[in-house]
Amino acid sequence: MLSSLRYLAGSAGPSGYGSRTTADEATLPAGDLSHITAIVTGATSGIGAETARVLARRGARLVLPARNLKAAEETRARILADLGDAGSGGGRVVVLPLDLSSLASVRRFVHRFLALRLPLNLLINNAGQYAERFAVSEDGVEMTFATNYLGHFLLTELLLPAMADTARATGVQGRVVNVSSTVHAWFAADAGDDGPLAYLHRVTRKATPYDPTRAYALSKLANVLHTTALAGRLREMGADVTANCVHPGIVRTRLIRDRAGLVTNTVFFLASKLLKTVPQAAATTCYAAVHPAVAGVSGRYFADCNEAAPSRLASSAEEASRLWSFSEAITAEKEKEESALPVTSFRFQVQSSNADRGMAIA
């Protein structure tokens, strides 16, 4: 009750920030980020675009993976225009192709990224979709789960060596931020289920009717469970990299606009006072990504730029371990079937400013 009142009032929590904090405000204490390289998925619109814009304004180099390269190039152009002279040369924003629903595409993206020989400090897994109709990815996985979770799982797994090497070479702690949603709490396993994976198995094989909201909730639950397991894995590796997840808040981004209709429009009109603006919705992602107060914090869930409690199911270490094992198994199985180029080991190389200015844009 208290958290709801705080949200409505926009009052600050223990961090000093609240629901009305913007991404610009949340990143101000981070200062100059010109030493940071960040990958931001889903940066062509909405929260991802605002996250990318704000990080760029603080000086970060950006890599923008996208399925729609035209939209990504338009985002890149907007960011560079916003930077003005600071963005001259364009080498601070790189666009590379990526379809998160395809594990082969994820491997190709990582191969291309590593070939650039760039450091990697931040990985912001932001991209997401809400699929009204049932579909299965080319890897045989329900499409919402494949895009929102499994693609990001593999992306993170393949980039971890690069992040660990960068942290070791620079002394700057790496951070992974998974963008989840409070909707993750809407998923509850049916009676008799062994858990979320049992539901995924049934819905993928059409053994149960497809419910788009439940499928989306499952994917967001997986994001939280992934964060828990990843934080533990990073500790075991001894890597100076943290992993946290965030609920950005309710905002009418393209994900919601794609479902526009009389009922949706009416609900959002009546609830307009409860909605965040896009700059406010991007604040928690940016806070978890670069704020000094989050240094060393790992395996936590954030909302309104403050630590919060995820659902009971999302807090289960057993479910997190089970999901991790499943994800490793399915991605390893698909790798054997793919003809994509193998990902080679990464060794971070410091590049001069001249090299940065001459970097090619894909």
Encode pLDDT of 290-306 as tens digits: 999 999 999 999 999 99
Q: Where are the domains of the chain?
A: 1-335
Quote the pLDDT of residue 84.
86
**Looking at residue 150, what DSSP letter applies?**
I
Of all residues in the chain, the percent with pLDDT exceeding 70 is: 80
Query: Is the pLDDT higher at 188 or at 159?
Result: 159
Alpha helices in the chain (DSSP H): 2-9, 23-27, 46-57, 69-83, 103-115, 143-145, 151-170, 196-204, 212-237, 254-257, 262-270, 278-281, 283-290, 317-337, 353-357
Is the pTM above the cut of 0.85?
yes
Two tokens, residue 46: 């909405």
Average pLDDT rounded to a whole number, residues 190-205: 80
Quote the pLDDT of residue 87.
58
Helical (H) or strand (E) element with 97: strand 93-97
Q: How confident is the model at residue 340 (pLDDT cuts 50, 70, 90)?
A: very low
Which residue matches tokens 């590593």?
A: 114
Quote the pLDDT of residue 243.
98
Q: What CATH superfamily classification does 1-335 receive?
A: NAD(P)-binding Rossmann-like Domain (3.40.50.720)
Average pLDDT rounded to a whole number, residues 83-93: 73
Neighbours of 172 (CB within 10 A): 15
In whole angstroms, how far apart are CA 217 and each of 45, 169, 220, 323, 324?
Answer: 21, 38, 5, 15, 18
Q: How far apart, in whole angstroms, are the C-alpha atoms of residue 244 and residue 234? A: 12
Write out pLDDT tens, residues 16-25: 999 999 999 9
The four Cα atoms 323, 327, 330, 333 give a dihedral, to 10 degrees, of -130
Nearest CA-CA partner of 37 in 301, 290, 358 = 290
pLDDT beyond 60 at 7: no
Residues with Cβ within 8 Å of residue 289, at least 6 apart in sequence: 38, 51, 55, 122, 124, 175, 177
Write out pLDDT tens, residues 94-122: 999 999 999 999 999 999 999 999 999 99
Quote the pLDDT of residue 91.
75
Q: How confident is the model at residue 261 (pLDDT cuts 50, 70, 90)?
A: low
Two tokens, residue 162: 């690069």
Neighbours of 335 (CB within 10 A): 15
pLDDT beyond 60 at 272: no
Query: Is the pLDDT higher at 81 or at 260?
Result: 81
Quote the pLDDT of residue 72.
97
Residues with active-site annotation:
210
